[in-house]
Structures are given as C-alpha cells and as structure tokens.
Structure 1
Amino acid sequence: MEVHQASQRRACSALDVDRPTVRYKSRRDDDTGLRGAMKTVAKERRRFGYRWLQVMVERQGWQVNHKKFRRIYREEKLQVRRRGDRKRALGTAGPRRFRAAGL
C-alpha cells in the first residue's frame, strides 16, 4: 500500500485477500505468568504429563481450560521424553536354538 500508493481496498483486491484478514488483531493474552508456572513445575516434576502438570499448576491458584493448557504445553515443548531401552551387556545372549517341528 505504501510503495504503490494504493488504498487498502485496492491492494487487497489486487492480492485477492479479504480485508478483515488484513485488519485482524489478536486479542489473546500472552499468558507469560502461566507459561512460567508451567515451566517451573515441569522442571521439578520431569516425568509428569500435561494432566498432572495441570493439577499441580491449579494447586498454585491458576484456573485454566484443559484445551488451552494442552496447547501451551505443546508450544513450550514440555512433552515427557520417552525413556530409552535398558543397556545390556554385549555378548551375553547366546545363539538361539530352534526346536524342530513335531518333536
């Protein structure tokens, strides 16, 4: 609009974009306090999933919808990491013996 000195209506029609989409301003809070509370609890309780984490955060006084909590949980990458397999000593398992069929 500034470069070509065009109105918003003309610029949106040239780009085939709806004007309300261009004018949209989000009213969502940034939830910095909640995100901080979630991170501190997740750091203390590393093996807790989002459900237990929400219980712990609610005990601190936060009231949060479970869908919003789950969305923030994913955005902050607080997922519980999967545990790896147990380490086993190399060479301890001998060769497998198969039984003959019918014996």
Structure 2
Amino acid sequence: MSPQAKRDAVRTLVTERALGVTRACGLVGISRSLFHSESRRRINDEVPIKRRTAIAAQNRRYGYRRIHVALQRKGWLANHKRIWRLHSKARLAYVSGDASSSAATTVREFGRATALSI
C-alpha cells in the first residue's frame, strides 16, 4: 500500500468513523508525521521533456549525461536522475554500433537506393 493510500485511509477513518488522527494512524500503521507531510515531487515534466527532446533531436548521439550538461548550460536546473528517468521513459538511449549497423539503419529508414548512394 502506497503512502498516499495510507493517508487516504487515515482521512477516511477520521472523517467517517470519528477517530482521532493518532488512533487512525496507529490502526493504518503510519506515523503522524507521514500523515501530515506532503509530497514535494514535481508532477509537471513537460518543460524538461520538451527541452530534452529538442537537444536530443539536434544531437542524436547525446546521452542523458550530455543532455543534462546542455540543459545546465542553457540555465535549466534539473537533477541528473530526473533527466535519466525522462530519457529512459522516452527510450532515447543511444545504441552504439559499427558502420555496417548504421548502414542497415539507413536502409531501413530511407530505402535501398539512398543507402547505396551513400
């Protein structure tokens, strides 16, 4: 059971069963400080996603570390773990390979004639 679900259970006990907060927290198995604390996690990841996607589109070989540094240089303060989470969620992990694998990718994306002209 998540902490938020436990908080909701305590709220239900307090409002519907007329129990005190201390008693309700004891029944659910959380501390009163956990009940009163609020999450500080940022839910809105739109701006970092847009910035990261723009940087990744310009520099296709950039990994999450270089994207993190590029964001810092542009004045965006973002935690490297957050950038990794967004990077892996978007599945932008760079797959390294030799020249033959990149030629195969070119064939898949642009067709055989374009790959042979390269």
TM-score band, normalised by shorter chain: 0.5 to 0.7
1:23 is aligned to: 36
Question: How many positions carry a matched residue from both structures?
Answer: 83
| The structure with more radius of gyration | 1
Superposition RMSD in Å:
2.8
Whether the aligned pair in 1 keeps the contact of 2:51 and 2:71 (CA below 8 Å) is yes
Specify every segment of 5 or more residues in structure 2 that has no aligned partner in the other structure, as ranges: 1-12, 105-118
Q: Residue 75 of structure 1 is aligned with which of 82, 85, 108?
A: 85
Using the TM superposition, give the Cα deviation of residue 73 of structure 1 relative to its aligned residue in structure 2, in angstroms: 1.9
Using the size of structure 1 for normalisation, the TM-score is 0.58
Question: 1:63 & 1:74 partners in 2: Cα distance?
Answer: 14
- Which one has more relative contact order, counting CA pairs under 8 Å at least 6 apart? 1
Q: Does 1:50 align with 2:64?
A: yes
Q: Distance in 2 between matches of 1:15 and 1:28?
A: 23
Between the aligned residues of both structures, percent identity stands at 23
What residue identity is the alignment partner of 2:51? Answer: A
Distance 1:63 1:40 in 2: 16
Which of 66, 71, 76 is matched with 1:62 structurally? Answer: 76
